[in-house]
Amino acid sequence: MEKETLKAAILEQKKRLGVTIAAHFYQRDEVVEVADLVGDSLELSKRARDDEAPYLLFCGVGFMAQGVKILAPNKRVFMPRIACCSMARMIDASYFNASVEAMISAGIARENIYPVTYINASAEVKAEVGKMGGMVCTSSNAAVIMEHALKSGKKILFVPDRCLGENLAIKMGLKSAVIGRESPEEMARADVICFDGFCSVHQLFTPEDIDFYRERYPDILIAVHPECDPKVVAKADFSGSTSQIIRWVAEQPIEQKIAVGTEFNLVNRLREKNTFVLSATKPECPTMNETTLEEVKAVLDSIEAGTFINEMTIDDETREWAAIALNRMLDLSR
Ligand code: 13P
Ligand code: SF4
């Protein structure tokens, strides 16, 4: 089917069937164009939870669709394809528990550990965090969540993104250590102990990329996502979540040159501004970028036929504990 015909068919069918389509900013343009809700991880989890349609088709990665199922268990949540965030796949419940044990071995008592998981983690990991009295954060609200967690007077276990954990610690004047990189003594001295996970897309941006653009255009401004390495964030003019980057770029005068260090589809949509992609390679999130209109249509067809492909399911116990961790975050970031 020709693309415009396919889009028109999707728009008609989703309305008729009562399906809301949510798309993260990293989705391809054609997918964003058929979506009802477009946003960052935090915005999408709140707006999709509050949406009244019985069906939600989430164009993003697994942890995002799972997040809606956790918060709105009666909603039937689907994905056009089962796409995973590679960072979220770096940690499961056993790695989480091994991280807690590593802190205990460094002399930190279990009761003195406050776990915070970046939303880019499975329901299983969120559930472990919920059981230990901890909570979720996103890149939009990470500083607020961290401030709250620190009020407990405990050591923070931050999973799975080392870069976000270290960037937060630097911003807040805290000492951080990375499990497996730093010694037990250094872990015991740190305020924030990070799991050693990372985003393969944001690792593509380097301090040299920033030097390159600053040499070529001395007045250029640089905006990056906090999943970038702290050495990159230190050289940037702005660091923030996807929606914060979009807002910050929009505030700049039209003639201002800006290089942006985040995923390609998002940066490419900012092209009416004077923007560059801050990387010599094309920083595509592989799984986000694979979702197609044909797959969106196939799920709508399956809802219409009653065969329901690619539906998200989470067992009740995991869902309930994960909901506790997610709702603790949402209560703090309304
Ligand atoms: P945001 O919450 O900023 O949209 O980030 C999600 C993500 O996965 C970035 O790589
Ligand atoms: Fe995960 Fe990185 Fe893709 Fe974001 S860009 S969804 S962190 S792999």
185-228 pLDDT, tens digit each? 999 999 999 999 999 999 999 999 999 999 999 999 999 999 99
Q: What is the mean pLDDT of residues 126-145?
A: 97
Task: Give the number of the atom of ligand 1 that is nearest the alpha carbon of residue 244.
Answer: 3
Q: Indicate the helix (H) or strand (E) that contains 55.
A: strand 55-59
- Cα separation, 140 vs 230, in Å, equals 17
Rg, Å, the chain Cα set: 20
Residue 333 has pLDDT above 90, yes or no: no
- Cα separation, 120 vs 156, in Å, equals 17
Short-list 153, 109, 113, 152, CA closest to 131: 113
Nearest ligand for residue 136 CA:
1
Q: Give 44-84 pLDDT, tens digit per residue.
A: 999 999 999 999 999 999 999 999 999 999 999 999 998 99
Nearest CA to ligand 1 atom 6: 41
CATH 3.40.50.10800 range(s) for the chain read: 3-84+288-314, 88-199, 202-277
Q: What is the mean pLDDT of residues 4-17?
A: 97
Residues 179/187, Cβ–Cβ less than 8 Å = yes
Mutation test of ligand 1: which of 32, 227, 267, 289 has the most ligand atoms closer than 8 Å to its C-beta? 227
Nearest CA to ligand 2 atom 3: 285
Q: What is the mean pLDDT of residues 132-155?
A: 97
Residue 273 has pLDDT above 90, yes or no: no
The fold for domain 88-199 equals Rossmann fold (3.40.50)
Q: Give 310-324 pLDDT, tens digit per residue.
A: 999 999 999 999 999
Q: Would you say domain 3-84+288-314 falls under CATH 3.50.50.60?
A: no
- At 272 the pLDDT is 84
Residues 114/154, Cβ–Cβ less than 8 Å = yes
Q: Which residues line ligand 1 (CB under 6 A)?
A: 40-42, 120, 138-140, 199, 225, 227, 241-242
Task: Give the number of the atom of ligand 1 that is nearest the alpha carbon of residue 138.
Answer: 2
Nearest CA to ligand 1 atom 2: 41
Q: What is the mean pLDDT of residues 301-318?
A: 98
Task: Give the number of the atom of ligand 2 that is nearest the alpha carbon of residue 285.
Answer: 3
- At 334 the pLDDT is 65
- At 172 the pLDDT is 97
- Cα separation, 107 vs 294, in Å, equals 54
Q: What is the mean pLDDT of residues 150-178?
A: 98
> Three-state DSSP class for 244?
helix
φ, ψ for residue 200, nearest 5 deg = -65, -25
Give the DSSP per-residue string, 13-78: HHHHHTEEEEEETTS-HHHHTT-SEEE-HHHHHHHHHH---SEEEEES-HHHHHHHHHH-TTSEEE
Nearest CA to ligand 1 atom 3: 241
Residue 251 has pLDDT above 70, yes or no: yes
Gap from CA of 138 to ligand 2 centroid (Å): 12
Task: Give the number of the atom of ligand 1 that is nearest the alpha carbon of residue 240.
Answer: 3
Nearest ligand for residue 241 CA:
1
Task: Give the number of the atom of ligand 2 that is nearest the alpha carbon of residue 199.
Answer: 2
Q: What is the mean pLDDT of residues 132-150?
A: 97
Residue 229 has pLDDT above 80, yes or no: yes
Residue 1 has pLDDT above 90, yes or no: no
Residues 85/200, Cβ–Cβ less than 8 Å = no
What's the mean pLDDT when you consider all of the chain? Answer: 97
Gap from CA of 72 to ligand 2 centroid (Å): 23
At 271, the pLDDT band (50, 70, 90 cuts) reads confident
CB neighbours of residue 200 within 10 Å: 14
Under CATH, which architecture does the 202-277 domain have?
3-Layer(aba) Sandwich (3.40)
Percent of the chain residues topping a pLDDT of 70:
100
- At 67 the pLDDT is 97
By CB atoms closer than 10 A (0-12, 13-18, 19+), residue 188 is: middle
